[in-house]
Amino acid sequence: METDKNNDQVLPEERLFSGVLLLNAKVVGLTLGVIFGLGIFVATNWLVIKGGERVGPHLILLSQYFIGYKVTFWGSLIGAAYGFALGTICGALMGWIYNKIAIFRQ
């Protein structure tokens, strides 16, 4: 994360309160990507470990979006990759939009 450029004459204390947070879009994207990816990986494997007659009847609906995804261990890896990609795109987009608006408003 980074802040906008400030005047060096301003006291650090004042800068602490007056600075506007700018997001590092790449970092936000990667963070969200990892969270999404891990979330799908864990959720899938949780159901796999639980087992039962029908494993993950609802989670399998993700396959409508993530082609090749299944509620299996290998499916969890595929889902994690999709989740990571989607999260990264969403996070980066969010960070980019936020920065554009924040800078524009200044």
Partner 1 sequence: MDDNPVVIIGAGPAGLAAGYELISRNICPVILERAGIVGGIARTESYRDFFFDIGGHRFFTKNEEINRLWEELLGDDFIRVNRLSRIFYRGKYFNYPLRPANALFNLGPVESLLIFVSYCRARLSPSPEENSFEEWIINRFGERLYRTFFKTYTEKVWGIPCSEIRADWAAQRIKGLSLLVAVSNALFGGQQSKSLIEQFFYPKFGPGMMWESFMDRIVAGNGEVRLNSEVSSIHHDTTMITAVEYSDGNTTGKLAPGHCVSSLPISRLVKLFTPQPPAEILSAANQLSYRAFIIVVLIIDISSLFPDQWLYVHSPKVKVGRIQNFKNWSSFMVPDQSKTSIGMEYFCNENDQTWNMQDNELVETATREMVELGLGEKTQVIDSYVVRQSHAYPVYDSEYKKNLQVIRNYLENFSNLQTIGRSGMHRYNNMDHSMQTGILAAKNCSGENHDLWAVNEEKDYLEEDRGVREVPAVPEKVLIGAFARMDKLAFASAVGITCGLLVLGATLWIISRGGDVLNSHLRLLAQYFIGYTVTVKGGFIAFGYSFFWGFLFAWLFAYLRNLFLAIYIYNIKRKAELLSLKDFFDNF
Which positions lie near partner 1, rule CB under 8 A? Answer: 1-3, 6, 12-13, 15-22, 61, 64-65, 90, 93-102, 105
Pick the closer one to partner 1 by CB: 52 or 104: 104
Pick the closer one to partner 1 by CB: 73 or 97: 97
- The residue whose two tokens read 């800078």 is 103
Judge whether 36 and 84 are in contact, CB under 8 Å.
yes
Half-sphere exposure of 6 (CA within 13 A, CB side): 17
Report how far residue 86's alpha carbon sits from residue 106's, in angstroms, rounded to the nearest whole number: 30
Residue 45 Cα distances to 50, 51, 56, angstroms: 8, 10, 10
Pick the closer one to partner 1 by CB: 42 or 61: 61
